Amino acid sequence: MSEYFDVAVVGAGVFGSWTAYLLNRAGAKVALVDAYGPGNSRASSGGESRIIRLGYGADEIYTRSAHRSLHLWEEFFKRTSSSDRLYRQTGVLWLAHEHDAYCEATLSNFKLVGTSYERLNHDELARRYPQIEFHETHWGILESNAGILMARRAVQAVCTTAQSDGVTYFQHAVVAPQQTTPQLKSITTVSGEEIHSEKFIFACGPWLPKVFPELLGDLFHITRQEVFFFGVPAGDRRFDPPQMPAWIDFHDLAYGIPNLDNRGFKLAIDAHGPEFDPDSGDRLASAEGTAATRSYLAKRIPVLANAPVLESRVCQYENTSNGDFLIDAHPQISNAWLVGGGSGHGFKHGPAVGEYVIKMIAGNNNPEPRFSLASKQAVRDRQVY
């Protein structure tokens, strides 16, 4: 390929697509490359729905990032007249124990960024949401401005809009560059074509450790994650928003999403699953995962205890050691950057990640230490939820 680009972005997931979209709007000539296509079923960004919430306990960095991202998502929806299709403001309900440091810290950060919320006691929770069994839940937080991003469609919309704006998209698998190369002049596709660029951003999600195995193979843990959609009773609107918000129970590592587009009530266990290969792994739910999810469903929403499974999906998390993102320059290739480690919570942050990457490649002298390659460890110690 004779065309020369300012920046080539490898990976059209939420991080890569937003980075390409924003680079183009900043005036750069951008190539965007993906092996399977934006929003594909193998991608971490390829599911039907993702929660966008500002609550992150004491992690102000991610609260502010989510706050900025929500603003940029809303700007994008307004620009493309796609809000009704791509975002549902369901609210997000946090379930808290009596003494709950995570939720208390979440409230403190809500006050810092000025987001809207309600603190609800047990009786108010039970009155508003009688379809949910609150058991040990003593109180809760309703984050009213939060909601659900329609993930697959949203990524495809960002990618399509970026192309309309002038980004050049290639659907090709890329050969891993040699780490001994001091500077890349081009990347090569498996079919032998070359894409020439001044700078390169590798935002490859669960494929990032495959592209750079020596550098990242021990630092990323790709885990198999199962989600289920349960059928609600005929004519029963209790599981539609606003009667039911999205909700999160980090004590039991579970989350639920209301019945959107009549697909069913979505429930998933957030605990990390077994190691998984995004290329070759089978994506059928396991008997063990089904049983564990149904057991939690019977506890939290007894009326759905025997509800049929309408759909199940297997996606993956690309976990760093503690859940912090990786956004840093490649230590051996001077014009390449590594962007990834969404760790199961990254989707909502796509716009803010894109802005941060642009600052980094422009020579930002105040990088976030938590995003650095040096901060990543081989030992798993999840700290970000």
CATH architecture classification, 1-48+150-218+321-385: 3-Layer(bba) Sandwich (3.50)
Q: Would 1-48+150-218+321-385 and 90-145+221-319 be classified into the same CATH topology?
A: no
Averaged pLDDT, 310-330: 97
Longest dimension (CA), the chain: 67
pLDDT above 90 for 365? no
| Model confidence pLDDT, tens digit, residues 116-133 | 999 999 999 999 999 999
Q: What is the CATH number of domain 90-145+221-319?
A: 3.30.9.10
Distances (CA, A) of 127 to 73, 120, 144, 205, 335: 33, 10, 17, 42, 57
The domain spans of the chain are 1-48+150-218+321-385, 90-145+221-319
Confidence at residue 178, expressed as pLDDT on a 0 to 100 scale = 86
Confidence at residue 185, expressed as pLDDT on a 0 to 100 scale = 96
| Model confidence pLDDT, tens digit, residues 206-263 | 999 999 999 999 999 999 999 999 999 999 999 999 999 999 999 999 999 999 999 9
Confidence at residue 287, expressed as pLDDT on a 0 to 100 scale = 97
pLDDT above 70 for 2? no
Averaged pLDDT, 319-340: 97
> Given the structure tokens 């089978």, which residue do they identify?
282
Averaged pLDDT, 145-152: 98
| Model confidence pLDDT, tens digit, residues 4-49 | 999 999 999 999 999 999 999 999 999 999 999 999 999 999 999 9
Of the given ranges (53-67, 115-129, 173-187, 213-227), which has the lowest mean pLDDT? 173-187
Confidence at residue 116, expressed as pLDDT on a 0 to 100 scale = 95
> Given the structure tokens 């924003």, which residue do they identify?
22
Confidence at residue 26, expressed as pLDDT on a 0 to 100 scale = 97
> Given the structure tokens 């929806």, which residue do they identify?
77
Whole-number percent of the chain with pLDDT over 70 = 99
Confidence at residue 1, expressed as pLDDT on a 0 to 100 scale = 56
Confidence at residue 180, expressed as pLDDT on a 0 to 100 scale = 82
Beta-bridge partner residues of 226: 314
Tokens of residue 172, six digits: 């090709």
Residue 195 exposed, middle or buried by CB count within 10 Å (0-12, 13-18, 19+):
buried
Confidence at residue 247, expressed as pLDDT on a 0 to 100 scale = 98
